[in-house]
Structure 1
């Protein structure tokens, strides 16, 4: 830990991994500074858009600790970042930890909408899984340099029965020694002797059963998991931006890319949700502070220009151009509810049971 890091009054640490996210970084960090995260441990991966330079400038300002990574990544860059983060002094020192992505925004409904308000609402919690609320594309074609939270205000309904990914979560957890490793969705490698001390509460304040303490990455289906906190997931963005995302590939699956199925399972726009605007004014003030830094502003503008230019470059490629056309032809996804959702859940449970029964005992670790 550096001298500057040692001086941090660290309570809440955000950890993430990025590649070519420079155009979105300042909005994401501004929002989460206001929410209450004290510092950001960010791993960058072979970026072409100036993401690394933006992170270096933010590090010079004392807001971020930037760890550049270079491949190869046997399990993908995100898993490599997690592996490194487990050993980082900031992760060892932080009282509360959360690993989440730059397209995910913490949205707290309790009190003043900050992390201390969340803990005050759930004072016995040692972990708070924040369920995704999927924000769809809402027909936006062109990428614009505006906060995702302002551009996209339509989402999946509060109660979803399918797809199961709509109930996935990311976890804010107390770093009390029970879990020895970070995970993409939840802390991992629990100490069995300490599991009895765990109290997990969902985003509506319900205590979760003990099986969540050592497994599960999604909340219960068919009920509102957002009454106290939710995780706004802007997985798609504008159509132009999604094509650039497809070209980048998946962070936790090596070279495997995004496709139309990923789009369809997340493109929900049937419900309006502007609740995150409760923090719009202080976030805008923090964002203006970033804009007043001439070097940050220059680097941000370069990342925005890179994204525009990358899309135009991709439109010379048949596969990318075909994908863009398919996005424009594909209507918003319709939530599945009632008997159809129940049928899909039954099929999913049957497949899961079959899979579990066919796993060799030595493979379960």
Structure 2
């Protein structure tokens, strides 16, 4: 009999305080059991929040400081792979602006992935992007990311050939780039369960076909103009040296062609989970948690849940 596997998320973050609790709560609602997060010298409260969540047993935190002439993402992934606990069956390597999304109400994320990975020949699965635009928002507003940004590009958008990977960590040598794992052995499959076919021109991390089947990765690449300028634009890329995401990036990714409410429909459950997490943070001794009732985050959670 097939078993449900323990699904964890791996990520590197830098200054993601405003949206981190939502991102964690969202994935917990979907059945993600834990998180292995590398912090890249955050200065906005992210590291302190992660420390508090680690005390609750919700995340494992790794420090990934900046190293001269080296982008931090792939070294962080190496460290995460080396640090994996044995009970982590599956690791989804995504960013803090990416949300795993079951594509119908009868698809359970963990069941879907387990059904593929219970085939012992499978070592990794590629899940394609779905790029969401700004919804015309200029400034940061109240509300969840998944509620505020519900307009996306059509499936034919060329960026959607990019994918993120869910892997059996013990079968990974290393990551070639943030999208594609170099496997020790086993099959790399697509969302339909077939052997992955890479794009003939772009290669690793880019699929020949875009598949939105079962589960995909919602990529909130720009959010509002304000959030883009104060966030992604200033941070640059964690993967590519000297890459600054500026006007051209925003214009290319600010696609609002079609409405999709699938992630937004989870908002009530996500808000309830955020409230539960905040209550646990509030219960920590004060010296162990800066995320107390009078914190900005606690106030925001209270506003979100009404």
Please indicate the TM-score interval, normalised by the length of the shorter structure.
0.7 to 0.9
Contact 2:222 2:253 in 1 (8 A): yes
Contact 2:150 2:264 in 1 (8 A): no
Instruction: Describe the superposition over 1:21-73 as per-residue Cα deviations: whole angstroms up to 9, x where unpaired.
Output: 01110000001111222111111112121111000010111101112232224
Displacement, 1:18?
0.8
Q: Any unmatched runs of 5+ in structure 2?
A: 283-289, 301-306
Matched, 1:252 2:239: yes
The structure with more strand, counted as a fraction of residues: 2
Displacement, 1:237?
0.8
Count of residue pairs the alignment pairs up: 281
* CA gap 1:135/1:211 in 2 versus in 1, 3 angstroms: closer
1:20 aligns to what SS in structure 2? coil
Displacement, 1:117?
2.6
Aligned-residue RMSD, C-alpha: 2.7
**CA–CA distance in structure 1, aligned partners of residues 96 and 295 of structure 2:** 15
Matched, 1:149 2:146: yes
Matched, 1:200 2:189: yes
**CA–CA distance in structure 1, aligned partners of residues 104 and 112 of structure 2:** 6
The structure with more helix, counted as a fraction of residues: 1
Aligned to 2:173: 180
**CA–CA distance in structure 1, aligned partners of residues 198 and 134 of structure 2:** 34
Which of 89, 94, 113 is the equivalent residue of 1:95? 89
**CA–CA distance in structure 2, aligned partners of residues 30 and 81 of structure 1:** 23
Contact 1:107 1:231 in 2 (8 A): yes
Q: How does 1:110-189 map to 2 (within 5 A)?
A: 112-119=106-113, 122=116, 124=119, 125-160=122-157, 162=158, 165-175=159-169, 177=171, 179-182=172-175, 183-188=177-182
**CA–CA distance in structure 2, aligned partners of residues 12 and 280 of structure 1:** 21
Aligned to 2:215: 229
**CA–CA distance in structure 2, aligned partners of residues 115 and 173 of structure 1:** 14
Displacement, 1:13?
1.8
**CA–CA distance in structure 1, aligned partners of residues 12 and 274 of structure 2:** 21
- Normalising by the residue count of structure 1, what TM-score does the alignment of the two structures yield? 0.69
**CA–CA distance in structure 1, aligned partners of residues 292 and 51 of structure 2:** 13
Q: Any unmatched runs of 5+ in structure 1?
A: 1-8, 306-365
Aligned to 1:270: 257
2:205 aligns to what SS in structure 1? coil
Matched, 1:65 2:26: no
Displacement, 1:128?
2.1
1:279 aligns to what SS in structure 2? helix
